[in-house]
């Protein structure tokens, strides 16, 4: 599964960078647990948390698409969209806690990737099952 491996590595780096951002805020503000009413730390925590909440299921769906021989072009399109989404979302959230272009479109693209992959997989496997 080289395509999924490629996107998983990129997304892993994104998660690592988001985690590093949380650590940086914690160290600079000397906050060991929680966010200590620090809005910047809270945004960093939610950026990391949201990535952890969404990336694993999307990677699993990407892998299932590749394993079920969905076109490599389709798998690349979903993988690239997910990477863009997961860059946009924290970029938006870290710039402003409110609604931002990055946060809005990062969320929308993540949702579309998730539901799109699920649909493509179902369309591919249902004829094989029944």
Q: What is the pLDDT of residues 47-69, one digit of tens each?
A: 999 999 999 999 999 999 999 99
Token duo for residue 89: 């979302």
At residue 61, the pLDDT reads 98
Question: What's the number of domains the chain is made of?
Answer: 1
97 has a pLDDT exceeding 80? no
101 has a pLDDT exceeding 80? yes
| CA atoms of 32 and 38, how far apart (whole Å) | 12
Task: Please choose, from the candidates 87, 75, 78, the residue with its C-alpha nearest in 3D space to the C-alpha of residue 14.
Answer: 87
Domain residues for the domain of 26 are 2-124
Q: Average pLDDT for residues 38-53, to the nearest whole number? A: 92
> In the predicted model, what is the mean pLDDT of the chain?
93
**Which sign, positive or negative, has the C-alpha torsion 56, 84, 47, 99?**
negative
- The pTM score is 0.92
Residue entry with tokens 């009413």: 37
**Residue 79 contacts by C-beta under 8 Å, 6 or more apart in sequence?**
3, 4, 6, 7, 62
Q: Residue 121 belongs to what H/E stretch? A: helix 101-129
- Residue 129: inside a domain: no
83 has a pLDDT exceeding 80? yes
Q: What is the CATH number of the domain that holds 28?
A: 1.20.120.550
- Residue 53: inside a domain: yes
């Amino acid at each position: 599964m080289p395509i999924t491996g490629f996107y998983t590595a990129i997304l892993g780096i994104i998660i690592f960078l988001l985690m590093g951002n949380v650590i940086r805020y914690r160290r600079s503000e000397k906050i060991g647990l929680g966010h200590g009413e620090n809005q910047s730390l809270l945004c960093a925590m939610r950026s990391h948390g949201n990535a952890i909440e969404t990336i694993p299921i999307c990677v699993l769906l990407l892998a299932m698409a590749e394993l079920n021989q969905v076109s490599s072009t389709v798998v690349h399109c979903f993988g690239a969209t997910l990477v863009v989404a997961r860059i946009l979302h924290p970029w938006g959230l870290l710039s402003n806690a409110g609604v931002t272009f990055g946060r809005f479109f990062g969320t929308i693209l993540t949702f579309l990737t998730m539901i799109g992959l699920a649909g493509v997989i179902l369309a591919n496997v249902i004829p094989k099952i029944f």
